[in-house]
């Protein structure tokens, strides 16, 4: 793939409150922790941010329109299923995914030991080589809801090429 083959870029962000009794799932990987994201689905901020980045790049309806949080079909939904649906929509619109760059904002636990697992799993879900997926993590230096450990957030950007290009 040559750099000029990137046709569109898209950005997505997500944030969920953290509370006891919920599994902390990031990029479809379960991270042992005492709190997890509150959400209608599994609250996976990584996959939700990627879905919105895909939607943005292809100028498709956003995640809230695609998967309304009042729809019982998405109660406790596995976000990997939602991501697969969003990928199908992107493909039908004539695009193929080129790369994904993700930043996770989380105060604790430190994600150093989990980033590679998340990268491998996100690449698998997207049908990409791991080299096309970047997973970065940072704390918020104790500031705001993320910094106080009350929330987890994610920012993702994707590059799309036209389907059929190398």
Please work out the total of residues on this chain that contact Mg ion, with binding judged by CB under 5 A. 2
The answer to whether residue 119 forms part of the interface with Mg ion (CB under 5 A) is no
Who's near 161: CB < 8 A, 6+ residues apart?
1, 5, 6, 7, 95, 96, 97, 98
Burial of 89 (0-12, 13-18, 19+ CB in 10 A): middle
Comparison of 37 and 159: residue with beta carbon closer to Mg ion: 37
CB of 70 to Mg ion, least distance (A): 14
Comparison of 3 and 72: residue with beta carbon closer to Mg ion: 72
Q: Which helix (H) or strand (E) holds 145?
A: helix 144-147
**Residues of span 44-63 touching Mg ion by CB under 5 A:** 48
Comparison of 76 and 165: residue with beta carbon closer to Mg ion: 76
User: Given candidates 14, 42, 101, 107, which one binds Mg ion under the rule CB under 5 A?
Assistant: 14
| 45-57 vs 115-126: helix crossing angle, rounded to 10 | 40
Which spans of this chain sit near Mg ion (rule: CB under 5 A)?
Answer: 14, 48
């Amino acid at each position: 793939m040559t750099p000029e083959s990137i046709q569109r870029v898209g950005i997505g962000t997500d944030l969920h409150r953290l509370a006891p009794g919920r599994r902390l799932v990031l990029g479809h990987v379960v991270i042992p922790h005492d709190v997890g994201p509150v959400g209608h689905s599994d609250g996976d901020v990584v996959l939700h941010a990627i879905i919105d980045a895909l939607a943005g790049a292809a100028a498709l309806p956003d995640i809230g329109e695609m998967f309304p949080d009042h729809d019982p079909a998405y109660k406790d939904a596995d976000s990997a299923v939602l991501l697969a649906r969003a990928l199908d929509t992107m493909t039908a619109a004539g695009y193929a995914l080129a790369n994904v760059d993700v930043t996770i904002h989380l105060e604790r636990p430190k994600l150093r030991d989990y980033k590679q697992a998340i990268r491998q799993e996100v690449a698998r879900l997207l049908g990409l080589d791991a080299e096309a997926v970047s997973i970065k993590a940072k704390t918020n230096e104790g500031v705001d809801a993320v910094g106080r450990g009350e929330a987890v957030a994610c920012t993702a950007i994707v590059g799309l090429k036209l389907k059929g290009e190398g």
